[in-house]
Structure 1
Amino acid sequence: MTKSSNIFLVGASRGVGREIAHYLIRQNLPVKALLRSETSRAELDAIGVQVVLGDAINASDVERAILTDEPIHTVISTLGGLPTDTERPDYLGNKNLIDAAVKAGVKKFILVTSIGTGNSVKALSPQALVALGPVLVEKEKAEQHLIASGLTYTIIRPGGLKSEPATGNGVLTEDTRIVGSIHRADVAQLVVQCLNSERTNNKILSAVDKNMLFTQTDFVEFSLD
C-alpha cells in the first residue's frame, strides 16, 4: 500500500478505533474517519484525520462518504454499539459499510469484532456468554456478511480490552480456544500491521496479550511476515 492510498476508518471516536487513528497518523498514512457526531471531531482534526460526519446505520451516509473521487484502499471498522443505543450498529452499520465497500472497489476490509464471535464462542465462560450473547450474534452476522461479500478481508477478534498503554505483547492466532485480555493500543498496532500483510487476507484471527491469557493454553502465534 502506498502512502497516497486512503484508509477509511469507522469507530474512531473511542476505544480501539481512536487508537488506530492515532497509530495510522504516526505511520504517515492518510485517514478518513466517519463520525456520528461532532464530539470527537476536534481531537481527530488536530492530528490530521479527515473527518466526515454521518451515521453508519444510514446507508446513504456511508455511500456518500465512501463513494467519492478519492478511491478508498482499505476500510477498517471497529464499529460497536453502546448499551444506550436503541439500534445497535454491530451488524447493520457494518453491513452498510461492507456493501458500500463492494460498490467502491475497496481492496481490503478489516473488521474488528470480539473473541466469542462465531467459532470462538467456546472460548468464553457461560457467564460471559450470558452478558455478551446478543451482541455476539450481531457481530457474527457482520462477519458472515463480510465473508460472503467477495471482499478481501481480515477479521480480528480481540479479547477483553484494557485502556493502558501498549505492552508490545499483543499477538494474533487462528486458535479459536484462546481467551485473555489485550490493551486497545496493542490491538491498534496489530490491525495496522495487517494492512500490508497478505498472509492475513481472508483470515479470522483472535488477538490477545500473550502475558494476559485467562488459561495457560499452548497455541501457535500467527506470523504476519
Structure 2
Amino acid sequence: MKVFVVGSNGQIGKQLVHLLKQSDQHTVRAMVRKEEQAEAFNKIGVETVLADLEGSVDGIAAAAEGCDAIVFAAGSGGHTGADKTLLIDLDGAVKTVEAAEQLGIERFIMVSALQANNRENWNEKIRPYYVAKHYADRILEQSKLTYTIIRPGGLLNEPGTGKVAAGENLERATIPREDVAGTILAALTEEKTFKRSFDLVSGDRNISDALKSL
C-alpha cells in the first residue's frame, strides 16, 4: 500500500514516515511545505511532494495522486493562534478528506485528540484545537471513506513501549509519539479499525492485540 502522509515534518509524521520506509508491506510519499524539508527526506530516500494545506483541494489531490491511503497527522502547532488552528486542523483536514474522495482513495487515518468526540471532556486550555478536531472528525465520519480516527492522549517524546490501551472514553493519560506512529502503521490494514474512532494512551497490551480487540 502506498501511503500519503500529511504532516510528514511533524513529530508523529516523521516517525511514521520512517516506519513506512522500513516496512516490507507499504511504501510512503511524504507531503511537506518547504523545499528544505523535502531535501531532508530525499537524502534518506523518501519520496516527497510539496503541497500546502492552506492551498486548494486540487493541489492536495495532485500531491496524493497514485497513493492507496492517506494519513492526516498535520497540526498547526502549539505556538500558533486560533486562526491557524482553524485553517490547518479543521479546514486543512477537511480539504484532505475532499481530496481523497476526489481521487477515490478510500483508506484514511486521522490523528485527532483524546476525547475530541466528547465536548464535556475537552481540555479548556486548548479549546479551539478541540473544536477543530471535533468537527474535522465528524466530517470524516460522514464521508464514504474507510476511515480510522485515532485520538491519542498527551504526547511524549520518550521512546515507545509498544504497549497501549485503545477504546472509548479512556481516562486522560499520556503516550509516546513513537507508539502513536506504530498504531497508525498497524491500523492501516487492521479491519477492526475500519470505520472506527477510539482513544489511545499507554497501556499493557501490544499494539496489534489492542487494535484487534476494538
- Give the structure-1-normalised TM-score: 0.84
Q: Please state whether the residue corresponding to 1:41 is helix, strand or coil.
A: helix
Separation in 2, partners of 1:34, 1:224: 32
CA deviations over 1:34-70 (Å, ceiling 9, x no partner): 111124223322332211111012123212212x3x2
The answer to whether the aligner puts 1:79 opposite 2:92 as a matched pair is no
5 Å-filtered alignment, 1:63-212, equals 63-66=61-64, 68=65, 70=66, 72-82=67-77, 83-84=79-80, 86-88=83-85, 89-119=88-118, 121-123=119-121, 129-173=123-167, 175-210=168-203
Q: Please state whether the residue corresponding to 2:84 is helix, strand or coil.
A: coil
> Does the 8 A contact of 2:110 with 2:148 survive in 1?
yes
For residue 215 of structure 1, what is the aligned residue in structure 2? Answer: none
Of Structure 1 and Structure 2, the greater helix share is in 2
Q: Which runs of 5+ in 2 are unaligned?
A: 205-209
> Does the 8 A contact of 2:72 with 2:111 survive in 1?
yes
Separation in 2, partners of 1:108, 1:36: 23
1:122 to partner: Cα distance: 4.1
Aligned residue pair count: 204
Identity across the alignment (%): 29
Q: Please state whether the residue corresponding to 1:87 is helix, strand or coil.
A: helix
The answer to whether the aligner puts 1:43 opposite 2:37 as a matched pair is no
Cα RMSD of the aligned pairs, angstroms, is 2.0
Query: Quick one: structure 1 residues 159 and 35, their matched pair in 2 at CA, closer, same or farther if it must change by over 3 Å?
Result: same
Q: Please state whether the residue corresponding to 1:33 is helix, strand or coil.
A: strand
Query: Quick one: structure 1 residues 224 and 16, their matched pair in 2 at CA, closer, same or farther if it must change by over 3 Å?
Result: farther
For residue 10 of structure 2, what is the aligned residue in structure 1? Answer: 14
For residue 214 of structure 1, what is the aligned residue in structure 2? Answer: none
Q: Please state whether the residue corresponding to 1:114 is helix, strand or coil.
A: coil
For 1:156, the aligned partner's letter is I
Query: Quick one: structure 1 residues 46 and 170, their matched pair in 2 at CA, closer, same or farther if it must change by over 3 Å?
Result: farther
Q: Which runs of 5+ in 1 are unaligned?
A: 212-220
